[in-house]
Amino acid sequence: MPPQRDIGLYIHVPLCRQRCHFCAFYLEIATPARIEAFLSALARELTLYHQQNVLAGRALRSIYFGGGTPTVIPSLQLAALLDRIRNTYSVTPDVEVTIEAHPSTVTRQDLRVLAEAGFNRISLGAESMAPQDFIPIGRPGTVSDTEQAVQDARTAGFSNINLDLMYGLPGQSLASWTATLHSLLALDPTHISCYALTIEDHTKLAQDIAKGLVPAPDETLQIEMETATESVLASAGFTRYEISNYARPGYACRHNLLYWTDGDYLGLGPSAQSYIAGSRFGNIANLDAYAGQLQNDHLPVADRRMLTHEEQRRDALIFGLRLLKGVPNNLAIEDAGQRDILAQLTERGLIVNEHDRITLTPLGCRFADSVASELF
Ligand code: SF4
């Protein structure tokens, strides 16, 4: 019998205290009533999947609470939810359990409750360590909230701490970005995610840029920031293992690796996406509609598709190329045409095709999506 593929569980909490100016995700503003509506529907979804034996006895190797801002839910309710998951599904003894948190939404006591409940990895949205960067992007909270949350998380027992950053923020210079990186390193995280700011349509930030109130991102500067990031973090002992992710040895995010290595995951909550045994499916992106389906004992799936072999190969390539270790080259080469394209991409300095693997060059990392799409 072939070995069981790893599987993870993703819980999507589509609730935040307020909407940041750059954010285009589906979400609602958290109120006690919306939190309650979400939690009771989610409990029903957990039970329905269990009754339908979707995981077929497989044990979860990772559980990830993302959002939104999961920590707008009171910590005791998050602990009860994790307990419910553990009582519903099998989990491996070394399961990685991550919670995303906005630094200003967690107290020392909350973090203690979460650590005691079994959350063993925390991902804090720092975004920047320069207070002036928060204003144009409408990010609530302060830099000292981040510093305090890291300290409190560590005291509570979290030894695996990720900090998220964004670069290319309006008004941010290369010098202030490198200062942010150094301030962040002083907090001694195990993992750092760095995302370039992108401007999404219909956001307040897009409107402010269109009105000339805020400068648009400067692509050349973003590239310089990306180069600086790799060098500063490498000097501090971090390995860039994915285009936007850096970790100390042994601290790559197990759950996110599932996405990049063609692994299986079940996503619960409004707008959550799943991929199990070649089937991709996604939930309705609306809390009321999601809850309504579950009240009638229907899974709240809006679209479902069994991928063909070709589509699975394409997705494994698109996601796998994001990893700095790349993908086996037999994922990309099935005929002479693809061999030619690979040769052209190599000549243009976008990929390296060696030792039966394809990896992106530093230049290729900047154009990862278009490199992958040229291959198909
Ligand atoms: S905290 Fe995250 S999910 Fe919530 S509005 Fe801000 S960027 Fe969007």
Residue owning the nearest CA to atom 3 of ligand 1? 68
Question: At 108, phi and psi to the nearest 5?
Answer: -55, -40
**102 and 240 co-located in one domain:** yes
Q: Is 312 contained in some domain?
A: no
Cα separation, 85 vs 266, whole angstroms: 12
**232 and 332 co-located in one domain:** no
**253 and 329 co-located in one domain:** no
CB atoms under 10 Å from CB of 83, counted, come to 12
C-alpha to C-alpha distances, 287 to 2, 12, 33, 36, 292, nearest whole angstrom = 38, 11, 12, 11, 8
Angle between helix 108-117 and helix 75-88 axes, rounded to 10 deg: 10
**334 and 196 co-located in one domain:** no
Output the six-digit token pair for 97. 């359990």
Output the six-digit token pair for 160. 């695996």
Cα separation, 359 vs 343, whole angstroms: 13
Q: Is 306 contained in some domain?
A: no
Task: State the CATH number of the domain containing residue 79.
Answer: 3.20.20.70
Tens of pLDDT along the chain (376 residues)?
556 677 999 999 999 999 999 999 999 999 999 999 999 999 999 999 999 999 988 999 999 999 999 999 999 999 999 999 999 999 999 999 999 999 999 999 999 999 999 999 999 999 999 999 999 999 999 999 999 999 999 999 999 999 999 999 999 999 999 999 999 999 999 999 999 999 999 999 999 999 999 999 999 999 999 999 999 999 999 999 999 999 999 999 999 999 999 999 999 999 999 999 999 999 999 999 999 999 999 999 999 999 999 899 889 999 999 999 999 988 877 777 888 898 999 999 999 999 889 999 989 998 888 888 888 7
149-160 pLDDT tens trace: 999 999 999 999
**241 and 331 co-located in one domain:** no
> In ligand 1, which atom is closest to the CA atom of 22?
7
Q: Is 282 contained in some domain?
A: no
Q: Is 207 contained in some domain?
A: yes
CB of 25 sitting under 6 A from ligand 1:
yes
Output the six-digit token pair for 67. 């959002």
Q: Select from 23, 31, 97, 50 the least CA-distant residue to 287.
A: 31
The confidence score (pLDDT) of residue 147 equals: 98
| Run of H or E residues at 177 | helix 174-185
Which residue blocks in 236-367 are alpha helix, DSSP H? 254-260, 287-295, 309-320, 336-347, 362-366
CB of 12 sitting under 6 A from ligand 1:
no
CB of 19 sitting under 6 A from ligand 1:
yes
**40 and 187 co-located in one domain:** yes
143: three-class secondary structure by DSSP: helix
> In ligand 1, which atom is closest to the CA atom of 68?
3
Query: End-to-end CA distance of the chain, in Å?
Result: 32
**54 and 156 co-located in one domain:** yes
Q: Is 144 contained in some domain?
A: yes
- Find the 243 Cα to ligand 1 centroid distance in Å: 21
Q: Are strands 191-196 and 245-247 parallel, antiparallel or unpaired?
A: antiparallel
CB neighbours of 293 closer than 8 A, spacing ≥ 6?
284, 299, 300
**37 and 165 co-located in one domain:** yes
Cα separation, 178 vs 362, whole angstroms: 19
What is the 8-class DSSP label of residue 25?
S
CA 99 to chain centre: 11
Q: Which domain holds residue 105?
A: 7-260
Q: Which of 12, 15, 22, 27 to mutate to test the pocket of ligand 1 (most atoms within 8 A of CB)?
A: 27
Residue where a domain stops, chosen among 260, 275, 296:
260
Q: Is 317 contained in some domain?
A: no
Question: Residue 136 class from Cβ within 10 Å (0-12 exposed, 13-18 middle, 19+ buried)?
Answer: buried
Residue where a domain stops, chosen among 260, 282, 303:
260
Output the six-digit token pair for 151. 């300290």
CB atoms under 10 Å from CB of 264, counted, come to 18
Q: Which residues pair with 306 in a beta bridge?
A: 279
The tally of domains found in the chain comes to 2
Q: Is 374 contained in some domain?
A: yes
- Find the 137 Cα to ligand 1 centroid distance in Å: 10
Cα separation, 361 vs 155, whole angstroms: 40
Q: Is 316 contained in some domain?
A: no
- Find the 5 Cα to ligand 1 centroid distance in Å: 32
Tell whether omega for the bond before 68 is within 30 degrees of 0, i.e. cis: yes
- Find the 20 Cα to ligand 1 centroid distance in Å: 6
CB of 24 sitting under 6 A from ligand 1:
no
Q: Is the dihedral of CA 265, 266, 268, 273 positive or negative?
A: positive
75-121 pLDDT tens trace: 999 999 999 999 999 999 999 999 999 999 999 999 999 999 999 99
Contact at 8 Å (CB) between 115 and 156? yes
